[in-house]
């Protein structure tokens, strides 16, 4: 069983565009490492409903193959596992909502920072749009 089959499996029915892109990228990496799955790539392409989406899948495949070749050339022989691990499995990065940087060189500009005026009102906190008391029946 290949790295791709272990990571993604091949017994899927339908997939969306994002999953197709992920699979195509992984197929490109696998192809660069000597595990080419042309039938699986064709299945992934056929799931896309437009020519544009099919071309995006092709680009993802090419990108995976090219990035794996670059890393493989840098690492030398016997680099299949580290290349696969770095490009496909990768490190999952989670960002705490409170730690999103704002301002400064590496953060979001203050102009697009979260604005309270765009928040939805909380239930029961809409005094500004309630009827005045004098219009209410006793």
Q: Residue 59 has what pLDDT?
A: 92
The SS3 call for residue 108 is strand
Whether the CB-CB separation of 96 and 37 falls below 8 Å is answered with no
Backbone angles phi, psi at 108, to 5 degrees: -70, 145
Distance CA 72, CA 78 (A): 9
Distance CA 7, CA 26 (A): 9
**Tens digits of residue pLDDT in 110-126:** 665 566 666 666 666 66
Distance CA 46, CA 138 (A): 67
Instruction: Indicate whether 79 pLDDT > 60.
Output: no
pTM of the shown model: 0.60
Instruction: Indicate whether 138 pLDDT > 60.
Output: yes
Q: Residue 45 has what pLDDT?
A: 92
Instruction: Taking residues 22-27, report their average pLDDT.
Output: 89
Q: Given pLDDT bands bounded at 50, 70 and 90, which one contains residue 98?
A: low
**Tens digits of residue pLDDT in 30-63:** 888 888 888 999 999 999 888 898 999 999 999 8
List 69's β-bridge partners, or say none: none
CA 83 from centre of chain: 19
Which of the pair, 1 or 94, is modelled with greater confidence?
A: 1
Cα–Cα distances in angstroms (integers) from residue 133 to residues 80, 86, 121, 122, 138, in the given order:
73, 64, 21, 21, 10
The SS3 call for residue 102 is strand
Q: Given pLDDT bands bounded at 50, 70 and 90, which one contains residue 78?
A: low
Q: Which of 15-24, 55-64, 84-93 has the lowest mean pLDDT?
A: 84-93
* 132: DSSP letter: P
């Amino acid at each position: 069983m290949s790295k791709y089959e272990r990571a993604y499996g091949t017994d899927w029915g339908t997939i969306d565009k994002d999953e197709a892109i992920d699979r195509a990228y992984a197929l490109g990496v696998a192809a660069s490492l000597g595990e080419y799955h042309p039938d699986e790539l064709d299945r992934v392409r056929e799931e896309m409903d437009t020519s544009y989406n099919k071309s995006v899948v092709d680009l993802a495949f090419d990108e995976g193959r090219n990035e794996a070749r670059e890393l493989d050339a840098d690492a030398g022989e016997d680099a299949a596992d580290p290349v696969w691990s770095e490009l496909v499995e990768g490190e999952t990065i989670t960002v705490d909502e409170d730690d999103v940087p704002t301002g400064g060189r590496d953060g979001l500009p203050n102009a697009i920072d979260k604005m309270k005026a765009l928040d939805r009102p909380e239930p029961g906190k809409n005094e500004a749009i309630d009827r005045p008391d004098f219009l209410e029946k006793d």
